[in-house]
Chains A and B, each alone.
Chain A
Amino acid sequence: MYIACQFYSCPKYGKTANEYQDAFKHSLVSRVSSRFAIADGVTDSIYQKMWADALVEYFVDQGFPAQPSKTAITNDDIVNKWLAPIKQKWHASIDWVKLEKKPMRKAKTEKVGALATFLGFEIVKVKNGSSQPRYSWRAYSCGDANLFVVRNNKLIKSFPIITSLEFNDTPKSLCSLQRPDESISTSMGLIKTNDTFILCTDAMAKWFLIQHEKGDWPWNTLSLINNKRQFNNFIRELRTKDEIEDDDNTLAIVNIIWFDNRKTNRRK
Chain B
Amino acid sequence: MSRLDEVEKQINNVEGFKVKFFDSRTDADKRGDQEKIPDYPFERPFEGEKTVERWKIVRIEEIYPAFIYVKAINGDGTPADGKCHLSTVRSTYSTKTSDNANKIELPPYKVHMSREKPGCFLFLIDQSGSMSDPFGGATGGQKSQAVANVVNEIIYAIIYKNLTGEDATEEVLNRCVIGVIGYGDTIRTAFSGNLSGINLLNLSDIYSNAKISEENNIKSEYWIDPVAKGKTPMCEALSYAHEVLSKWISQHKDSHPPVVINVTDGESTDGDPLPHAQKITSLSTEDGNILLFNCHLSSTQAHPILFPSTEVVLPDEFSRKLFEMSSILPETMRSGIPQFKSNSTRGFAFNAGLTDLVRFIKIGTEKATADR
A contacts, CB < 8 Å to B: 18-19, 42-50, 95, 98, 100, 103-105, 107-108, 111-112, 115, 163-165, 169-171, 173, 210, 213-216, 246
Q: Is the CB of A165 within 8 A of B367?
A: no
Interface residues of B in 140-159 (CB under 8 A from A): 156, 159
Whether the pair B367, A111 counts as a contact (CB closer than 8 A) is: no
A215–B59 Cα distance when bound, in Å, is 8
Q: Mostly helix, strand, loop or mixed at chain B's interface?
A: loop
Contact status A215-B55, CB under 8 Å: yes
- Of the four ranges (under 10, 10 to 19, 20 to 34, 35 or more), the interface on chain B belongs to 35 or more
- Distance, CA A105 to CA B219, complexed state (A): 11
Rounded to whole angstroms, the CA-CA distance of A169 and B161 in the bound complex is 15
Contact B46 A108 (CB under 8 A): no
B116 A246 Cβ-Cβ under 8 A:
yes
Tell me how far the C-beta of B1 lies from the nearest C-beta in chain A, rounded to whole angstroms. 16
Residues 328-372 of B at the A interface (beta carbon under 8 Å): 364-372
Report yes or no: B41 in contact with A105, Cβ–Cβ below 8 A.
no
Docked-complex contact A163 and B42, CB < 8 angstroms: yes
10 examples of A-B residue contacts, CB within 8 angstroms: A42-B368, A45-B164, A45-B367, A103-B219, A104-B160, A105-B163, A105-B170, A112-B371, A170-B366, A215-B50
Is B160 touching A108 in the complex (CB atoms < 8 A)?
A: yes
Residues of A within 8 A of B371 (CB): 111-112
In the complex the two chains form, is A46's CB within 8 Å of B164's CB?
Answer: yes
In the complex, what's the smallest C-beta–C-beta distance from A259 to chain B, in angstroms? 28
Are A48 and B367 neighbours in the complex by a CB distance under 8 Å? no
Contact indicator B221/A169 (Cβ below 8 Å): no
Tell me whether A48 and B164 are in contact (CB under 8 A): yes
B95 at the binding interface (Cβ < 8 Å): no
A214:B46 contact, CB within 8 angstroms: yes
Residues on B with C-beta less than 8 A from A98 are 167
- Say whether B43 faces chain A, with CB atoms less than 8 Å apart: yes
Of B46, B112, B156, B168, the residue contacting A104 (CB under 8 A) is B156
Task: Assess A43 versus B169: contact at CB under 8 Å? Given A107-B372, A215-B47.
Answer: no
Given A165-B42, A213-B59, A215-B55 in contact, is the A44-B372 Cβ separation under 8 Å? no
Contact of B173 among A43, A48, A165 (CB under 8 A): A43
Q: How far is the CA of A108 from the CA of B164 in the complex (A)?
A: 9
B365 touches A44 (CB 8 A): yes
Complex interface residues of chain B between 103 and 119 (CB less than 8 A to chain A): 112, 116
In the assembled complex, B188 has its CB within 8 A of some CB on chain A: no
Q: Given the complex, which residues of A lie within 8 Å of B44, measured CB to CB?
A: 164, 210, 213-214
Interface positions of B (Cβ within 8 A of A)? 41-44, 46-47, 50, 54-55, 58-59, 112, 116, 156, 159-171, 173, 207, 210, 212, 218-221, 364-372
Shortest Cβ distance from A179 into chain B, in angstroms? 12
Whether A173 lies near B220 (C-beta < 8 A) is no
Q: Which of A47, A112, A213 contacts B42 (CB 8 A)?
A: A213
Nearest-CB distance from A89 to chain B (Å)?
Answer: 14
Whole-angstrom CA separation of A165 from B10 in the bound complex: 14
A29 to chain B, nearest CB (A): 29
- Residues of the A chain whose Cβ atoms lie less than 8 Å from the Cβ of B54: 215
Q: How far is the CA of A18 from the CA of B166 in the complex (A)?
A: 10
A residues in contact with B169, CB < 8 Å? 18-19, 49
Can you name the residue of chain A whose Cβ is closest to the Cβ of B45?
A: A214
Chain A residues within 8 Å of B116, by CB: 246
Most buried by A among B47, B59, B207, B367: B367
Q: Do A171 and B372 have beta carbons less than 8 Å apart?
A: no
Which residues of B have CB within 8 Å of A105? Answer: 163, 170
B42 near A104 with CB under 8 A, answer no
Contacts A103-B218, A213-B46, A214-B46 supplied; 17 other A-B pairs, CB < 8 Å: A42-B365, A43-B367, A45-B367, A46-B164, A49-B169, A95-B167, A104-B207, A105-B163, A108-B163, A115-B367, A163-B41, A163-B42, A170-B367, A171-B367, A215-B46, A215-B55, A216-B47
Query: Closest CB of chain B to A7's CB: distance in Å?
Result: 22
A55 CB to nearest chain B CB (Å): 15
CA distance A48 to B173 in the complex (A): 14
- A43 contacts across to B, CB distance below 8 A: 164, 173, 364-365, 367
> When the two chains form their complex, are residues B166 and A47 in contact, meaning their CB atoms are under 8 A apart?
yes
Chain B residues whose CB sits within 8 angstroms of the CB of A173 once the complex forms = 367
Return chain A residues, CB-CB under 8 Å to B43: 164-165
When distances are taken between beta carbons in the complex, the residues of chain B under 8 Å from A48 are 164-165
Contacts of A44 in B (CB 8 A): 161-162, 164, 364-369
CA distance A107 to B369 in the complex (A): 13
| Contacting residues, chain B, for A215 (C-beta < 8 A) | 46-47, 50, 54-55, 58-59
Chain B min CB distance to A143 (Å): 10
**How distant is the Cα of A111 from the Cα of B43 in the complex, in angstroms?**
37
Which chain B residue has the least Cβ–Cβ distance from A100? B219
Q: Out of A19, A42, A45, A104, name the residue touching B221 (CB < 8 Å).
A: A104
The docked-state distance in angstroms from the alpha carbon of A215 to that of B47 is 8
Chain A CB within 10 Å, residue with most, of B116, B164, B168, B364: B164
Q: Are B163 and A46 interface neighbours, CB within 8 A?
A: yes
Could you say which residues of chain B place their CB within 8 Å of the CB of A108? 160, 163
Among residues of B, the one whose C-beta sits closest to the C-beta of A212 is B58
Complex Cα distance, B14 from A163, in Å, reads 15
Q: Is the CB of B367 within 8 A of A104?
A: no
In angstroms, Cα B169 to Cα A42, docked, is: 15
